[in-house]
Amino acid sequence: MANEKELNIQETGKQEIAETRAERTRSRLAFVPRTDIYETNEAIVLVTDMPGVDQSTLDITLENDVLTINGYVEAAYPEGYGLAYGEYRVGDYERSFTLSNKVDRNKIEATVKDGVLRLYLPKAESSMRKIAVTAG
């Protein structure tokens, strides 16, 4: 049984870092954060780059099957200085993923360190069960 292959995580946002959908309550720039997703025997792990975000400015919601990550960044411009040369812009982060129903919703863990969010999504016990086939 190709159990692991059935687990799917699909993105709903754009892959390229760009401004996202128009309907936002905050009139700020928003970016799609770059994300790595990998699967172990026990869990699915999401690792997302969100520089400028810490635990107090991060909002993660799970509604129906959609996991939404929102990171709010307050741009801290150096006081008394003028921008001479710019290569990146500062803005919020927003990205949604569709989770398969094999994730144990109550045991999701999230940690953020150095602007990297790590979401640990354990697989539900039931999906791990193997069915033994006996010779009839």
Partner 1 sequence: MLGRTFWGQTTPWSEMERLRREMNRLFSTFPEMTGSRVAPGYPAMNVWTNEDGVVITAELPGIDPEKLDIAVVENTLTLSGERTPLELAEGDVYHRRERGYGKFTRSFQLPFNVEANNVQAVYEKGVLRITLPRAEADKPRKIVVKAA
Interface contacts to partner 1, rule CB under 8 A = 4, 9, 11, 15, 34-41, 44, 47, 49-54, 77-78, 80-89, 113-116
Is the CB of 68 or the CB of 136 nearer to partner 1? Answer: 68
Is the CB of 84 or the CB of 131 nearer to partner 1? Answer: 84
Find all residues with CB under 8 Å of 92, minimum gap 6, and list them: 26, 28, 29, 30, 31, 70, 71, 72, 73
- Min separation Cβ 74 and partner 1, Å: 11
- Min separation Cβ 22 and partner 1, Å: 18
- Min separation Cβ 1 and partner 1, Å: 16
Q: What is the CA radius of gyration of the chain?
A: 19
How many whole angstroms separate alpha carbon 89 and alpha carbon 31?
10
Is the CB of 74 or the CB of 125 nearer to partner 1? Answer: 74
How many whole angstroms separate alpha carbon 1 and alpha carbon 6?
10
